[in-house]
Each structure stands twice: as structure tokens, then as C-alpha cells.
Amino acid sequence: MRIEGVILDWAGTTVDYGCFAPVQVFMDIFEEIDILLTMEEVRVPMGQLKWDHIQSLLQMPRIEAAFQEKFNRGYTEADIDELHDRFEPKLLAILPQYGKPIPYVVETIQQLKQQGLKIGATTGYTSAMLSIVEKTAKKYGYEPDHWVTPDLVMDKGRPYPYMIYENMKQLGLRHHAQVVKVGDTISDIQEANSAGVWAIGIVKGSSMLGLTEAEVEQLSPEEERQITARVRKNYMEAGAHGVIEDISQLPRMIEQINERLMKGAALCPSASIVV
């Protein structure tokens, strides 16, 4: 038994270093109703369907209290709908700027394809949003074999497993233990765990790290070590089987998983993999 397929996230994993496109828009739409969010708050639900993300933000005690103070009432689903209606056109307008692949993505995915692996993708974006990102990424040389968005599985996005299952069906992947999911958020890890596939977190370029490429390059070795350790710890506590610094380490991670599969290893979050 060997790994047959890899399911990748988009923003923060394969494109949009630091996952900044949706973060900025979430902050903008709440600012329009005079509620200021921190970047840390916005990143907590990252990876969810965008409507669900807005709901998760409004459920946070500080933000819920701010909404109550501003409008003298609690939020309703109509409020989530209104914020989502503001969100979508703003994001669609800027997405063409955020489809460039993160370093090492194009060559690493080409390597995996040459090895015979199928490449799928899941996301928190809708089909309309991802179609824009996908076109830009393709111009730079990155193109998965298949991708699935929440609206293609009845809006059952992360942490539900259905986007992974639909990728597996379309790509002809036979067994969950032969599939690796790679992502940059806790939602990605939860999605992988729900589907019973190998869950791999990525550090550089991730929403979990939340830094631009320039900011990462300016870190001292000790700062980078400390931040990487924190991100790794968060992934592992969420149920990741392994963590990679960047996507160039993915082929080696897959080799290690294959070695364990040959020995009959079961999927077990406590049995972590170290690159």
C-alpha cells in the first residue's frame, strides 16, 4: 500500500503567501459596520466556507459583544447574509492578484505528478472565487488534476470530509489511507481527520504563520525557530500526523508515510512524522 493522491488547500498552501486576500476583506466588511477585528481573530476560523467564517467571527465573545453594543441586539442569520453579500464582491475584485503560487509549489507538484500521484484540491472559496484563483495559478504553471469547493458539496465545507471524498471519487483514489491532505489551517487538519486521511500542516506561507514572505526572510534564526515550533505545536494538537516547513519537503514526507504503510501503520495522530 502506497500513497496514491495528495489533496491540497489553496490560499496559504499553494497560492497567496500568508493567506492575506480573505483576511483583509473580512476586516474591511466588519469595519464598514464599525466593528474593528484583529488579524489574529480573523485567522482563527480560516479555511471554513466564508459564510461559516463570518458566523464563527460573530460567535467570538468580544465580537459578539461589540455587535450587541453597536446594534442593541444580537446578530441573526440575516446579518451574516448581509456581511457575506459585502464580502463576496470585494474578494472577487482582488483575487486575480492572489493566485501566484508560493515558492516550490510548481516544481514540487510536477515532481509528484511525474511519480504518478493524483493531485486534488479543496478550499474555503466558492466556485466563482476559485475559478479566478485557478486561472491565475495555471498561468504560472500550477494546476491540480481536480478541485472541489464547498458549494459543490451542498455547502458542507470544512470540517466536513465531503470535499476530500469528492476529490477521491473523481480522481479514482481507492482508500483513505492512501491519501494525504496538506493545508495551512486548523480547519484543514480537521477536514483531513474527518475524512480519515493523512493530515499534514505546512508552516511557511501559511495562515497559521500569518507573515508575508518578506517578513519571514527578516526573522532571525531564533525567531524563526520559535515561531515554527509554535505553529507545529498547534497543528499537532489539532490532530496533524506531520508538519512540513514548506511544500518542497512534501515528497520526503510522502516517502516516510509509504514506509509506514508498508509496515502496516494505521492512521494515528499520536504517531507523528518528522521530516
Is 9 catalytic? The answer is yes
Is 85 noted as a catalytic residue in this protein? Answer: no
128 labelled ligand-binding: no
Is 240 labeled as ligand-binding? Answer: no
Residue from 9, 16, 52, 188 carrying the catalytic annotation? 9
**Under 8 Å between Cβ of 269 and 241:** yes
Fill in the amino acid letter for 261.
Answer: L
184 is in an annotated binding site: yes
Beta bridge partners of 242: 200, 273
Out of 16, 28, 34, 50, which one is annotated catalytic? Answer: 50
Which residues does the annotation place in the binding site?
9, 11, 184
Which residues does the annotation place in the binding site for Mg(2+)?
9, 11, 184
Residues taking part in catalysis: 9, 50
